[in-house]
Structure 1
């Protein structure tokens, strides 16, 4: 099944880069720099101008590289989700749970990763077919919250985003995160055109991740 395959690829990627930018060109260059650094999960946020065009270009660029995932982020409603899916997005990420978006993603067999902060929100998301919860912002809680959530719901999959760094990556992974989302410090050099620095930071993240996983 398409959805199961993508979920497995998200877990295999381990780290999802939350890509923002002031222009379509900046976002595309940053995305290529991230992949060059060995990071294969891209979340193209809809705060980027012409975000759906960015998704289309990246999907085309990496159509021969199945390990690379191109998803859409900051998706606030089902209309935007459909635009992203038609552009070729592998998965949809929202800062909060939206039932209409969940139903649309289920219809298209595309994973939906909504942001949740409470056990009640997580329960509602799972009730509507969500497989991975975006714990957002992760910095509010810290890694220990994963075991707290898993105590009553041991089957849930959590991807913390917001506040994940090279320094606390091990704590999040060891706490049971199925994957993590990173953005700020990874993408910061792109704003000044330092895309080689983006590649370097992406490489540092992936090297650390592989060390933690014993790969």
Structure 2
């Protein structure tokens, strides 16, 4: 049931914050700013120094709060297992790695494998992925979601890469169940402007709500 609840919460939120940082300290500051802006789903990428430790720390810190901590840029089952044991509630990969999907299914943890083709999307569905990551989204544009959903209306697609405030509505209207956003959301960290991250996070949530309302 926890797996289903996690997927439901991510879909309802509509936005997954992809957290990349140069250090653990910066990563935590970004996470706090994003959370303050109202985004509940936080994807800590394995490119962040000490990512697994950060996941463990955050899962303990927010265990009584309405926050969903997951792991991103997970390339293999070994890393997926380490993240799951640290408390990650979902796993996101940039590509479709069959053994990683199997591992996550074994632990009943949602996994979002990355795809670029219909063939990969079908394979992901056959493996039991409830949400499929379309990556890199900026290589296609929002029309790729409606294109995928033509032959695969049963698929839940989440674009990541190139999703920003100017086009997030287009992604949602094209049929995306949620969007993943990183650089456009957290760019304030480069100058230490974490208030900008909070403001941007709130705007993303609002844009998704408006797109769904129309």
TM score, norm. by length of structure 2:
0.97
**2:48 maps to which residue?**
48
Q: Contact 1:114–1:125 (CA<8 Å) still a contact in 2?
A: yes
Q: 1:189-200 to 2 correspondence within 5 Å?
A: 189-200=188-199
**1:80 maps to which residue?**
79
> 1:206 offset after TM fit, Å?
1.4
Secondary structure of the structure 1 residue equivalent to 2:113: strand
Q: Contact 2:13–2:205 (CA<8 Å) still a contact in 1?
A: no
Q: Contact 1:44–1:72 (CA<8 Å) still a contact in 2?
A: yes
> 1:62 offset after TM fit, Å?
1.5
> 1:49 offset after TM fit, Å?
0.6
Secondary structure of the structure 2 residue equivalent to 1:163: coil
Secondary structure of the structure 2 residue equivalent to 1:75: coil
Secondary structure of the structure 2 residue equivalent to 1:71: strand
> 1:201 offset after TM fit, Å?
1.1
Q: Contact 2:133–2:158 (CA<8 Å) still a contact in 1?
A: yes
**1:166 maps to which residue?**
165
The alignment of Structure 1 onto Structure 2 pairs a total of residues equal to: 214
**1:124 maps to which residue?**
123
> 1:82 offset after TM fit, Å?
0.4
> 1:119 offset after TM fit, Å?
0.3
Secondary structure of the structure 2 residue equivalent to 1:134: strand
d(CA) in 2 for partners of 1:166, 1:61: 30
Deviations 1:158-200 (A, max 9, x none): 0000011111111110111000000112111113322111111
TM score, norm. by length of structure 1:
0.96
**1:138 maps to which residue?**
137
> 1:5 offset after TM fit, Å?
1.0
Deviations 1:20-49 (A, max 9, x none): 001111111100110101111100000001
d(CA) in 2 for partners of 1:82, 1:191: 31
**1:20 maps to which residue?**
20
Structure 1 residue ranges, 4+ long, deviating more than 3 angstroms after superposition:
none
d(CA) in 2 for partners of 1:54, 1:204: 26
**2:92 maps to which residue?**
93
> 1:213 offset after TM fit, Å?
2.4
Q: Contact 1:21–1:191 (CA<8 Å) still a contact in 2?
A: no
Where does the alignment leave 5 or more consecutive residues of structure 1 unmatched?
A: none
